[in-house]
Every structure is written in C-alpha cells, then in structure tokens.
C-alpha cells in the first residue's frame, strides 16, 4: 500500500489503535481486579504475588503506618515482616535492621499515594489488601501503560509506512509483550519501559520534527532519568539521548534536560541515603565483610537464615556462561524464543542501517543496536552468582525496558512484509508465539517461562 493511500486511512488506523488499546486495558483491568496469590491457598487475603513485589509493599507500609514503623528507621521493615503473609526473601540486614533490597525511590512515591488513603479512610494494606493494593496497581501500572500506548501509537504513525505494518506493531504492543503481563504486580521494569517510551517520543519530536520548545527537552531529561533509576542499564539510553540533544541544542539541553535529570538523580540517591545511610544501593553490598545478604533474623519466635545463603533453582546461578548465553537468546529464557517478534526488530534495524533515504534513520538504527547489544552483553557476562535469568519470572525481565524501542525498530520489516500474503502469515505466526508467552502466566508473572516448563517436562532442563 502506498503512502498516499495509507494517509487516507489515518483516521481508520487511529480507530483500530483505540480498539486495541481498549481491549488490552479491559483485559488488564480484569487481571488486576482478580489478582490473588492463588498458588498459596493456605495463605488467604493477599494480592501480592511474590517476594519481589512484597518487598516493595513492605517498605510502603513501614513508611506510612505508625504501628509498622521502627523508631529512627522509617524504611526498616522489621515489624512488617512479622505480619502473617508479609514475609519476603528480597531483603537485606544493615545496622541491625531489615530493609527491602529494592531501591527505595519507587516505594517512596507509592507511599505518597498510600498516605492519604490511610489517613482519610483508616484502612491499611494489612486490613484491606485487595482494595488498596488493586487501586494502587491501577495508579502505578495501568494508567502509565495507557499513556505508553498513546505515545507508542504516535511513534508508530510517524515511522510506519503501511496500514498493515502499523496495525501489527500496535497489536504486538497491546498483547505480545511482557509489559501487560506484569501489570498485576509492582515492579521496576514496567515504569522503566513507560519512561523510556516517553523519553524516546520527545526525542523523536526534537530530532525528526525540529521541535525546539523547552518542554520536550524537559520530558527527555525527566523520563529518561526515571527510566535509568528504575532500570540502571537504561542509563545507556539516557546518555545517548543527552548526546543527541546536545547536538541539537546545547542551550535547550542545559536549561531543559539537565535540571529534571539532576532532580531525579538527587531523589534516587537521597531516598537511598534516607533509607540506608549510604548513597550506594543495597544490591552493591553482596560480598566481603559488608555482605548485607548474609544474616539471620527472628520471625514468629524462630531464627531464620537469609534465603541468599543457600539459594535454590535458578537463583543459584548458571555455571556455564555459554549455556547461559544460549538460554538468554534462544533458550528457555530466550529473548527471541519467548518473544520471536523481536526477530522482526533485528531485521528492521538492519533495514534502517543500510537505507539511503534518511541518514537520521541510520543513526536511529546504530543507537538501537548499540544499546541492545550493550545490555545483552552486560547480563550475559555476569559472574555465576548473577547468571540467574532474573530469578523466577516468566521472561527475561531485565530487558523489558527496551520494549518500546524494539517495537519501533520492527516497523521497516513489517512494511516490507506487508506486500505479500505469505510474509504477513510468517509475521502473524511470530506474533502468535509472542502472545502465547505473554499470556501463559495467566495469574502470576513470577512463574517460570512456558518454554522452561516444557523443557523440564521433556527432561531437557
């Protein structure tokens, strides 16, 4: 389909985008309203699905509920974990107290929303976990994802060339990635992806549309840095965008980009210092004499060892780096085996790299390739203790923040495949497999990927 005909269909495409978003939001709302730890039938009344998200919820309770607070240590969760169903393994011990091992900035923002709920209604996460927990999932996960979809639709319209390719990309965003899977649990990966999308959207307006209004530089600085503090490898994106903005306008970068970026950095390290008395995140204290993960604690009159003294399953780390690399790329946790639509993104990067129509697209391809390769190599070449596939999760969650960038990169491939029935069929088959992976954990994303379960069934893993 040529560009003129495609432009004639712009209103129809936007209507299709709206339908896809509405259906996806309805499906996610249904999951949020029914979220429950159904894998633990003996533990009633909790919509918190894993030690990972409970760790953050514990911090929220400690910050807001006076009866859960440890004097002089507002972020300590010693009292919270004594409550039934509020145990977690994702915690550290420091200065004689227990803390969440997760960076404290995001739980602090959550506490700002929970504070008026607690003080106005008197309800707590302990007494009304479903009502409060589900409401906050809507605020912190679902609403940002709706904004993400709208921004992504704008990028797809801007960089796509065919009706079919654009609609495919929007369908993939709505149903074929793990972001919608993780909407039922508090995590850092979803907000990192949403913030990355916002930063990329504003950058594309600056770079391709020659926008010079300061607000676009502010958006890049604010959301690019928020992506980085939620997912530290996203600092690569922040650095790349900063260099690009400096090239476009040093003055606007200095006045618009830099202040919000510094503000977010100050908030991140300030929250960390307020919580732990150090600028360094807890996960940097995992070895030597300053090992915050090696401890015992009391709960229910019992002395319990830290889980991290004797981790089990994938948490023990993969002994073979080669096997780890294979599984990360095309194995049971594979980027391309679980979400094969990313193969279209790889081809799209190559198409942009070697096209002659617009030099800016080549630079876009170079940036996407550099960031993606750097992140993959960083995680593949971790020491054995960290080669754990992101723990028990339905996908390789460390790379979820790249989702909007990879969705954008698949557009040239989709436009190329749109002209033939069999190539469209091939792309649709890849989408089916990607939707399968995203939908397999119907109730809890903190479960092994379907490929790992299948490999274990066959005796391969």
> What is the pLDDT, as a whole number, of residue 38?
62
> What is the pLDDT, as a whole number, of residue 64?
97
Helices 450-458, 421-439: axis angle to 10 degrees equals 80
Do 160 and 153 form a contact (C-beta atoms < 8 A)? Answer: no
Q: Is the pLDDT of residue 180 over 80?
A: yes
> What is the pLDDT, as a whole number, of residue 2?
41
From 135, 187, 204, 178, select the one nearest 335 (Cα to Cα).
178
What backbone torsions phi and psi does residue 93 show, to the nearest 5 degrees? Answer: -115, 130
User: 92 has which bridge partners?
Assistant: 99
CA dist., res. 94 & res. 108, Å (int) = 19
Least reliable range by pLDDT among 263-267, 310-314, 397-401: 310-314
Do 327 and 441 form a contact (C-beta atoms < 8 A)? Answer: no
CA dist., res. 176 & res. 171, Å (int) = 7
Q: Is the pLDDT of residue 52 over 60?
A: yes
Q: Is the pLDDT of residue 403 over 90?
A: yes
CA dist., res. 237 & res. 240, Å (int) = 5
| DSSP character string of 88-145 | -SSEEEETTEEEESS-SHHHHHHHHHHHHHHHHH---TTT-HHHHHHHHHIIIIIHHH
> What is the pLDDT, as a whole number, of residue 7?
73
Distance between the two ends of the chain, CA-based, in angstroms?
A: 46
Residue 96: CB atoms within 10 Å: 9
Least reliable range by pLDDT among 28-32, 137-141, 254-258, 308-312: 308-312
Least reliable range by pLDDT among 17-21, 235-239, 294-298: 294-298
Tell me, rounded to whole angstroms, the distance of Cα 44 from its chain centroid. 28
> What mean pLDDT is predicted for residues 154-182?
97
> What is the pLDDT, as a whole number, of residue 44?
52
| DSSP character string of 361-394 | HHHHHHHHHHHHHHHHHHHHTS-GGG-STTSS-S
Q: Is the pLDDT of residue 376 over 90?
A: yes
- Looking up tokens 């600028």 gives 279
CA dist., res. 150 & res. 21, Å (int) = 8
Do 446 and 50 form a contact (C-beta atoms < 8 A)? Answer: yes
Tell me, rounded to whole angstroms, the distance of Cα 30 from its chain centroid. 20
CA dist., res. 48 & res. 307, Å (int) = 19
Q: What is the pTM of this model?
A: 0.94
Structure tokens at 150: 């709208």
pLDDT band, residue 195 (cuts 50/70/90): very high
- Looking up tokens 């604690």 gives 297
CA dist., res. 200 & res. 254, Å (int) = 18
**Average confidence score pLDDT of the chain:** 93
pLDDT tens column, 126-152: 999 999 999 999 999 999 999 999 999
Do 356 and 296 form a contact (C-beta atoms < 8 A)? Answer: no
Residue 158: CB atoms within 10 Å: 15
> What mean pLDDT is predicted for residues 83-93?
92
Q: Is the pLDDT of residue 42 over 80?
A: no
> What is the pLDDT, as a whole number, of residue 153?
98
Who wins on pLDDT, 337 or 359? 337
> What mean pLDDT is predicted for residues 176-205?
97
Q: Where are the alpha helices (DSSP H) in 278-420?
A: 321-329, 335-338, 342-354, 359-380, 403-409, 411-417
> What mean pLDDT is predicted for residues 385-397?
93
Q: Is the pLDDT of residue 439 over 50?
A: yes
CA dist., res. 257 & res. 249, Å (int) = 10
Do 197 and 148 form a contact (C-beta atoms < 8 A)? Answer: yes
pLDDT band, residue 175 (cuts 50/70/90): very high
> What is the pLDDT, as a whole number, of residue 45?
62
């Amino acid at each position: 389909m040529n560009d003129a005909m495609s432009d004639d269909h712009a209103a129809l495409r936007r209507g299709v985008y709206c339908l896809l978003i509405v259906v996806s939001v309805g499906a996610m709302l249904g999951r949020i309203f029914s979220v429950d730890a159904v894998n633990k039938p003996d533990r009633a009344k909790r919509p918190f699905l894993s030690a990972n998200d409970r760790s953050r919820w514990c911090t929220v309770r400690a910050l807001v509920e006076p009866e859960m607070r440890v004097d002089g240590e507002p972020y300590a969760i010693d009292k919270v974990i004594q409550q039934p169903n509020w145990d977690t393994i994702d915690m550290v011990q420091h200065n004689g107290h227990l803390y969440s091992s997760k960076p404290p900035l995001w739980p602090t923002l959550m506490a700002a929303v929970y504070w008026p709920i607690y003080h106005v209604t008197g309800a707590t996460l302990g007494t009304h976990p479903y009502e409060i927990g589900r409401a906050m999932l809507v605020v912190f996960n679902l609403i940002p994802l709706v904004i993400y979809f709208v921004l992504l639709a704008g990028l797809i319209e801007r960089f796509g060339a065919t009706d079919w390719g654009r609609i495919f990309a929007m369908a993939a965003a709505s149903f074929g990635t793990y972001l919608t899977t993780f909407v039922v649990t508090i995590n850092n990966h979803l907000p990192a992806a949403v913030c990355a999308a916002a930063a990329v959207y504003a950058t594309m307006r600056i770079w391709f549309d020659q926008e010079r209004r300061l607000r676009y530089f502010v958006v890049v600085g604010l959301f690019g840095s928020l992506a980085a503090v939620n997912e530290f490898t996203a600092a690569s994106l922040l650095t790349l965008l900063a260099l690009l903005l400096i090239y476009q306008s040093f003055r606007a970068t200095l006045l618009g980009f830099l202040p919000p970026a510094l503000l977010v950095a100050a908030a991140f390290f300030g929250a960390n210092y307020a919580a732990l008395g150090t600028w360094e995140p807890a996960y940097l204290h995992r070895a030597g004499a300053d090992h915050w993960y090696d401890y015992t604690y009391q709960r229910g009159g019992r002395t319990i060892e830290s889980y991290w003294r004797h981790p089990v399953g994938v948490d023990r780390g993969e002994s073979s780096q080669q096997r780890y690399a294979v599984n990360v790329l095309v194995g049971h946790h594979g980027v391309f085996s679980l979400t094969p639509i990313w193969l279209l993104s790889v081809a799209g990067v190559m198409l942009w790299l070697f096209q002659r129509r617009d030099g800016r697209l080549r630079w876009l391809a170079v940036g996407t390739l550099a960031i993606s390769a750097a992140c993959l190599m960083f995680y593949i070449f971790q020491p054995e203790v960290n080669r754990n596939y992101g723990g028990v999760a339905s996908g390789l969650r460390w790379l979820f923040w790249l989702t909007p960038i990879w969705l954008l990169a698949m557009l040239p491939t989709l436009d190329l495949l749109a002209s033939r029935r069999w190539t469209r069929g091939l792309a649709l088959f890849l989408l089916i497999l990607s939707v399968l992976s995203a939908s397999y954990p119907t109730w809890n994303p903190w479960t092994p990927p379907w490929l790992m379960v299948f490999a274990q069934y066959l005796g391969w893993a």
